[in-house]
Amino acid sequence: MMSRQAFLCGLGSLYLSLLFVFLLMDVYARPANNSALKEKSADSKDENEILPPDHLNGIKMEMDGHLNKEFHQEVFLGKEMEEFEEDSEPRKNRKKLMVIFSKVDINNDKKISAKEMQRWIMEKTDEHFQEAVEENKMHFRAIPLFLTGRVSWVEYKIKFLASKGFNEKEIAEKIKNNEELKIDEETQEVLDNLKDRWYQADNPPPDLLLNEEEFLSFLHPEHSRGMLKFMVKEIIRDLDQDGDKKLTLSEFISLPVGTVENQQAQDIDDDWVKDRRKEFEEVIDANHDGIVTMEELEEYMDPMNEYNALNEAKQMIAVADENQNHHLELEEILKYSEYFTGSKLMDYARNVHEEF
């Protein structure tokens, strides 16, 4: 099993793609190169593979049960997140951050309260939702195969395998003739997991055909209460070691097993455990009984839970609240800009005075 160090290095935003018009994404499983059905081209890239995202914007925990390390930045920056990543020019970044500060500070008292931050977090989360809905609508309706208003599991399976380098016509023909597909074990496991999610998104009466709304639930389970429950079950299944459908602290911090090779790896390992322990004890375990139930995890995972948004706002303020007044001033946000934006702003104090 991979080390926590290796796992943490692999975290990041994953994007969706359905062939040419589907959403772009990274993947975590690749088929072996010995399949007779495969015909990889020189230009073929993993970015064109068509898995739903393991990482979901605006969600605190990822599909595999790991904490979303970019969550604070996502709910603070929203659509502007990529601009901070791409533009490293300090003065421009400062100006952008000042604009965001003024938007969060709705009463214009030059400081951000927990309530103001909560409102902003909810607004940015809803922004993520609306983006996903619009993109899903555009891509779903743009594909000629799906003009009937339904996406079949077979069609999706063919497109998925084709995007991973298999010959689409050969795959379609073999499926039509009920012939065996020579698919490596890793890819088959991914397909099995995807089919489970497909079943969950397929509202009654089940027919393995997804309409636009169901397809959105398949790609973005955070949009559906039923799929949110399924996502929680998947996380519990992955982390629950004794089969009681609950999580203890030891279960929550034990995945994956770390392989510590040096002091740097040990530090990363220790930080990983520290972060998960804090999240478990202070946030997820709502009644602080040392056990996380499926209900508690579902509440924690719900991106539109206002209580969670307020709690998150208080945590974000606490990180940078140097004067301990339970508010954030602009100077504090600029000083701790790496936490909020992922990019350091140099000479923050001097430039604040210059801007004003």
Position 345 scores a pLDDT of 58
> Quick check: 184 and 31 in contact, CB under 8 A?
yes
Position 266 scores a pLDDT of 52
Q: How many CB atoms lie within 10 A of CB 323?
A: 11
Position 212 scores a pLDDT of 86
Element of type H or E holding 263: helix 263-279
Position 46 scores a pLDDT of 40
Position 344 scores a pLDDT of 61
> Quick check: 321 and 114 in contact, CB under 8 A?
no
- Residue ranges of E strands in 180-233: 209-210
Q: With a threshold of 0.75, does the pTM exceed it?
A: no
| Distant-in-sequence, close-in-space partners of 181: CB < 8 Å, separation ≥ 6 | 37, 161, 171, 174, 175
> Quick check: 305 and 293 in contact, CB under 8 A?
no
Instruction: Tell me the C-alpha to C-alpha distance, in Å, between residue 12 and each of 7, 9, 157, 158.
Output: 10, 8, 25, 27
User: How far apart, in Å, do the first and last CA atoms of the chain sit?
Assistant: 53
Cross-strand bridge partners of residue 210: 151
pLDDT tens for the chain, 356 residues: list them: 444 344 334 333 323 233 323 332 333 332 333 333 444 333 333 434 456 665 566 677 776 677 777 887 888 888 777 777 655 677 788 888 999 999 999 999 999 999 999 999 999 888 888 888 887 777 676 555 545 778 888 888 888 888 888 998 999 999 999 998 889 998 998 899 889 889 988 988 888 888 888 888 888 887 788 888 888 988 898 899 999 999 999 999 875 544 445 555 555 567 778 888 988 998 899 899 999 999 999 988 888 888 888 888 998 999 999 999 999 999 999 999 888 887 665 544 444 444 44
